[in-house]
Structure 1
Amino acid sequence: MWTAMGVWRWRRNPLRRPTDLFEAWVALTALVCVLVVAPVVGWIAGLEVDGTLQRAAREQRQERYLVPAVVLRPAQDPIAQAGADPSAQRQTPQRTQIVAAWTAPDGSSHEGTVPAAEEPPQAGDRFRIWTDTEGRLVGRPLDPTSASSNAAVVGLAAGVGVAALAETVRRLVVRRLVHRRYLYLDRAWAAVGPDWGRAGAGS
Structure 2
Amino acid sequence: MRVIGGLWRWRKNPLRRTTDLVEAWLALVALLLIVVAAPVVGSLVGAVAQDSLQRSVRAQHESRHLVTATVTRKLDRAPLDPEPDTTAHDIRTRVVAAWTAPDGTRRHDTVLAPLKSPHAGEHFRLWTDRHGQLMTRPLDSATATTHAVLAGLGAAMLTVGAVESGRRLVLWRMVRRRYAGWDRAWDRAGPDWGKAGTGS
Normalized against structure 2, the TM-score is what? 0.84
Q: Distance in 2 between matches of 1:142 and 1:23?
A: 48
Q: Paired residue for 1:25?
A: 25
Say whether 1:179 aligns with 2:176: yes
Cα distance, 1:195 vs. partner?
Answer: 4.3
> Percent identity over the alignment?
50
Say whether 1:126 aligns with 2:134: no
Match runs of 1:14-163 below 5 Å: 14-75=14-75, 77=77, 95-163=92-160
How many residue pairs match? The answer is 189
Q: Call closer, same or farther: CA 1:198–1:17 in 2, change over 3 Å.
A: farther
Cα distance, 1:140 vs. partner?
Answer: 0.9
Q: Call closer, same or farther: CA 1:101–1:146 in 2, change over 3 Å.
A: same
Cα distance, 1:194 vs. partner?
Answer: 3.6
Q: Distance in 1 between matches of 2:163 and 2:33?
A: 6
Cα distance, 1:95 vs. partner?
Answer: 3.6
Cα distance, 1:4 vs. partner?
Answer: 3.5
Q: Which amino acid aligns with 2:168?
A: R
Gaps of 5+ in 2: 80-90
Q: Secondary structure at the match of 1:42?
A: helix
Q: Paired residue for 1:87?
A: none
Indicate the larger mover: 53-62 or 150-159: 53-62
Gaps of 5+ in 1: 80-93
Q: Distance in 1 between matches of 2:43 and 2:77?
A: 49
Q: Distance in 2 between matches of 1:12 and 1:114?
A: 79
Q: Distance in 1 between matches of 2:40 and 2:6?
A: 26
Q: Distance in 1 between matches of 2:7 and 2:130?
A: 65
1:20-51 CA-partner distances (Å, limit 9, x unpaired): 22222221221112111011000110010001
Q: Which amino acid aligns with 1:149?
A: T
Normalized against structure 1, the TM-score is what? 0.83
Indicate the larger mover: 122-131 or 188-197: 188-197
1:106-131 CA-partner distances (Å, limit 9, x unpaired): 11100111112111111111010011
Task: Please provide the CA RMSD for this pair.
Answer: 2.4
Q: Paired residue for 1:165?
A: 162
Preserved contact between residue 92 and residue 115 of structure 2 (Cα < 8 Å): no
Q: Distance in 2 between matches of 1:12 and 1:197?
A: 37
Q: Paired residue for 2:87?
A: none
